[in-house]
Amino acid sequence: SKAPLRVAVTGAAGQIGYSLLFRIAAGDMLGKDQPVILQLLDLPQAQQAVKGVMMELDDCAFPLLAGAVATDDPNVAFKDADVCLLVGARPRSKGMERADLLTANGAIFTVQGKAIAENAKEDVKVLVVGNPCNTNAYIARAAAIKVGRTNPANYHGMLRLDHNRALSQLAAKTGKPVAALKQLVVWGNHSPSMYADYRFTTADGASVKALINDPVWNNDVFLPTVGKRGAAIIEARGLSSAASAANAAIDHVHDWVLGSDDWVTMGVPSDGSYGIPEGVVFGFPCCCRNGGYEIIKGLEIDDYSRGKIDLTLKELEEERAAVASML
């Protein structure tokens, strides 16, 4: 049987953690034959709650769960980690300015990026879920690069929830099953500025754009629905998306580790593709093979798409400027 992989999860006592940990332990993320050890990080005041979650993990008697530890020390949580899921973040409190939110999170993610680079496996895969996730991933990566050791390409932000939201809207609009839809991409920032782009999407080989044949729907219904979906969930549920966010994190890491035939949207540090400045963590179409990923190159960017991509990039560059002095 396989040796266990170590999965560090931050914000383990939170609502996404409560959906995420059980699915990881059940083998949904790394495979049904892959034992895992969970290394749970949360704040000191949340340790009691993490203990409760660990009791429930025990009570599931998951055959693949080879161990679990809880800690408030990033150096302990990230020790020898193969995968780090950075879910915990500073939420926006009442009256907090956007710049304050960015710097409060900057402080968290510089510490965590450094601790990962110093303690985790050299080929660790890092996925930032905690918002603003693209910029938090950018900060963690910058802190990790200062240490060296880990692979700077392996610091990602999560765009997969936006990707899955867009897939589900397209399935409903075309009447095709989700599984029939291929080649979707969501460009940019995980925010309402993201650009979900179905110009290349096919359903059983046929063009989804041609099937829908409705440019007004794209601009007036589809993009706002996907972009504001998080707010719509809060409105309906009284709480932010949690199970769907956990599911998206599982999908992202699953495909990265085990491969994917289809395109998947990942927030990855730009290599300069499509005119996105190097290092900006940006939603790109990717394909995953042999435990690695590649940005799909050479897609045509028309004027409308260029406008959308530039807008979401502008937002990310403003976020980057707001944290520049911390790096």
Q: Is 50:277 a contact under the CB 8 Å cutoff?
A: no
Q: Which of 76, 90, 87, 84 is nearest to 12 (CA)?
A: 87
275 is in an annotated binding site: no
Contact between 88 and ligand NAX (CB under 6 A)? yes
Contact between 130 and ligand NAX (CB under 6 A)? yes
Of residues 253-312, which lie at the interface with ligand NAX (CB under 6 A)? Answer: none
Q: Which stretch binds ligand NAX (CB under 6 A): 39-47, 55-63, 119-127, 211-219?
A: 39-47
171 is in an annotated binding site: no
Token pair recorded at residue 204: 């059983």
Amino acid at site 186: V
Contact between 251 and ligand NAX (CB under 6 A)? no
Rounded least distance, CB 90 to ligand NAX, Å:
6
Binds ligand NAX (CB under 6 A): choice among 64, 68, 115, 129? 129
Spot the catalytic one: 156, 190, 252, 254. Answer: 190
Going by C-beta distance under 8 Å and a sequence separation of 6 or more, which residues neighbour residue 155?
113, 126, 128, 137, 138, 140, 141, 144, 269, 281
Count the Cβ atoms, other than its own, within 10 Å of residue 172: 11
Count the Cβ atoms, other than its own, within 10 Å of residue 178: 12
Closest residue by beta carbon to ligand NAX: 14
Binds ligand NAX (CB under 6 A): choice among 133, 140, 203, 295? 133
Q: Which stretch binds ligand NAX (CB under 6 A): 128-136, 172-180, 252-260, 311-319?
A: 128-136
Rounded least distance, CB 261 to ligand NAX, Å:
23
Rounded least distance, CB 18 to ligand NAX, Å:
8
Rounded Cα gap, residues 94 and 98, in angstroms: 11
Quote the DSSP letter at residue 284. E
Contact between 161 and ligand NAX (CB under 6 A)? yes
Instruction: Say whether 190 is catalytic.
Output: yes
Binds ligand NAX (CB under 6 A): choice among 242, 296, 311, 327? 242
Rounded least distance, CB 298 to ligand NAX, Å:
27
Q: Which of 206, 213, 201, 217 is nearest to 163 (CA)?
A: 201
- Own/partner pairs for 254-261, CB < 8 Å, 24+ apart? 254/28, 254/29, 254/30, 255/288, 256/125, 256/156, 256/288, 256/291, 256/293, 257/29, 257/30, 257/31, 257/83, 257/125, 257/291, 258/30, 258/31, 258/288, 259/288, 259/289, 259/290, 259/291, 260/287, 260/288
Contact between 11 and ligand NAX (CB under 6 A)? yes
Rounded least distance, CB 68 to ligand NAX, Å:
16
Contact between 87 and ligand NAX (CB under 6 A)? yes
Token pair recorded at residue 42: 């949360």
Binds ligand NAX (CB under 6 A): choice among 4, 15, 66, 225? 15
Quote the DSSP letter at residue 91. P
17 is in an annotated binding site: yes
Contact between 16 and ligand NAX (CB under 6 A)? yes
Kindly state the helix (H) or strand (E) to which residue 169 belongs, with its residue range.
Answer: helix 160-174
Binds ligand NAX (CB under 6 A): choice among 9, 89, 101, 115? 89
Contact between 226 and ligand NAX (CB under 6 A)? no
Enumerate binding residues for ligand NAX (CB under 6 A).
10-11, 13-17, 41-43, 46, 87-91, 108, 129-131, 133, 158, 161, 190, 230, 240-242, 245
Q: Which residues are annotated as part of the binding site for substrate? A: 92, 98, 131, 165
Active centre residues (catalytic): 190
